[in-house]
Amino acid sequence: MDVLQAEFILGATKPEHFPASPLPEVAFIGRSNVGKSSLLNSLVRRKNLAHVSSTPGKTQQINFFTVNSRWMFVDLPGFGYAKASKQEREQWAMLARDYLQHRKQLRLVCFLIDSRHDPSALELGLIEELEMIGRRFAIILTKKDKISSKAMQERELQLRDVTQFCQHCADIIPYSSVVGDTRANLLAIIKRECAC
């Protein structure tokens, strides 16, 4: 479990490009700059598997990576970038929605939320959407090294409250790509949810 061999397969800009692979998929989603690329890199212990962006919101494609020839990690483009055009936002919504609603191989959505801020209306809306379409999801509270453990406890309670009636919320996990102390917890959830 400790060593993950990850290999980039392809970047899809249209649903027709999604790979025809039977591997169970784990998708990573969150607003721009939430720390998604850093989390992916820390999970597979590679510096540059997913590109840590200096200009957020640039990649409008869904990237697929095989992991240990056993799972597929799926990096959905960051949403809610303030400078993105209306057209870019709509393109994001269409591609991501298509993937989230229809992808048969998808077993778990890791929804990243920055632990330093209250979840935005957009983020609360996406939790509701995942619940409504019946997708298993885990909430990952990112950048936990940037706040006190008390503030993190409060954030976790807040999200537990938000999801208290959700049937499809697998878990809520604080995460730091810098410290990595909860990496094993996240991997355990992925392993559990992808078990066939």
Residues near ligand GDP (CB under 6 A) are: 30, 32-38, 52-53, 56, 78, 142-143, 145-146, 176-178
CB of 21 to ligand GDP, least distance (A): 23
- Provide DSSP, 54-121: SSTT---SEEEEEETTTEEEEEPPPB--TT--HHHHHHHHHHHHHHHHH-TTEEEEEEEEETTSPPPH
- Amino acid sitting at position 189: I
Tokens of 105: 């191989």
d(CA 175, CA 97): 25
Nearer to ligand GDP, 70 or 181 (CB): 181
Tokens of 98: 């298509």
Nearer to ligand GDP, 129 or 145 (CB): 145
> Do residues 49 and 40 touch, judged by C-beta distance below 8 A?
yes
CB of 144 to ligand GDP, least distance (A): 7
Nearer to ligand GDP, 34 or 139 (CB): 34
Nearer to ligand GDP, 38 or 105 (CB): 38
CB of 32 to ligand GDP, least distance (A): 5
